Amino acid sequence: MRSHKIACSLVVALRSIEGRDMWIGLSLLSFIIIAQGSSLALPLSDRVREADDYYLGRQNPANVAHGLELLRADVFQDPKDYEAWWRISKFIYYQARHAASSEKIKLLDSGVDAAKKAIALQPNRAEGHYWLGANYDLTADARGYWRGLLFVDAIRKEMETVNRLDPDYEQAAGLRTLARLDFRAPFFLGGDKRLSVELLKKCLDRYPENSKAMLYLSDSDMALGLRDDARNTLEQVLNLCPDPQYAPELAENQEEARARMAKYFPPPE
């Protein structure tokens, strides 16, 4: 984002100068774009746009599968299409979250591979780093606690990169994932439940209706014995109104919030 603003400012300035100074300015502009990994937004192909439309209906697995077909056809035609590669990782992540245990690891391996291809093309864009870290995170969960610890450093590295490149990506998802990592990891790998609360509150300061961050906060509060805070947060999740962009996720998070309420705060008999 910052490099985009700088580049735009230079373009405006270049309109007012001529001759050798203009060529110097153009060279500087080219250097900034290259140094930032060509981080300015790239045009989307028709297939990528259509895949995005299908993803809006992702609660239907057939829509995600068809979107993936479009994206894979796109990279077959243009292997350097960054916008398609990171979306492939994103779509696969969604599939893996809802897949049977026997299918998860294979899916996640392909999601990791797609994200790495995206990063190789645009190392200074946040999307590839985020979906690589997200696929690692789900892989760690799928492989079980002890084997999952092997992924902690890789997840942290990718999410810290996301926070550096675009801290608002997917409603501060990099910060939210780091907070969850602090909640789940043992102390000798940097785990810190109090820090997880602090980070989640920062996330919610920026995105007050981030239902996933609220769920995570309720877990961290419960772990610290803050039962009233946890209950209030879960009730807030249940009272959220759907956001068209994240409606499927909200429905899932509200279902989880109801399960937590029933487990930790059952009604009196």
- Is residue 260 predicted with pLDDT exceeding 90? yes
Cα angle, residue 159 at apex, residues 153 and 161 outer, rounded to 5°? 105
Q: Which residues of 37-66 are buried (b: 16+ CB within 10 A; e: fewer)?
A: bbbeeeebbebbebbeebbeebeeeebbeb
First to last CA, the chain: 55
Q: Which of 4-18, 139-153, 194-208 has the lowest mean pLDDT?
A: 4-18
- Is residue 220 predicted with pLDDT exceeding 70? yes
pTM of the model: 0.84
Q: pLDDT value at position 145? A: 87
d(CA 217, CA 195): 11
Is residue 129 within 8 A of residue 158, CB to CB? The reply is: yes
Cβ neighbours around 238 below 10 Å, total: 14
What domains appear along the chain, each with residue ranges and CATH number? 1-36 (no CATH), 44-142 (1.25.40.10), 170-269 (1.25.40.920)
Q: pLDDT value at position 229? A: 98
Q: Which helix (H) or strand (E) holds 163?
A: helix 152-165
Stretch 68-86: mean pLDDT? 98
Share of the chain above pLDDT 90, in %: 80
For the stretch 168-182, pLDDT in tens is: 999 999 999 999 999
For the stretch 5-50, pLDDT in tens is: 344 443 334 344 444 454 444 444 444 444 444 445 668 999 999 9
Q: pLDDT value at position 256? A: 97
Q: Among all chains, which residue has been given the structure tokens 């245990």?
A: 101
Q: pLDDT value at position 41? A: 61
Q: What is the mean pLDDT of the chain?
A: 88
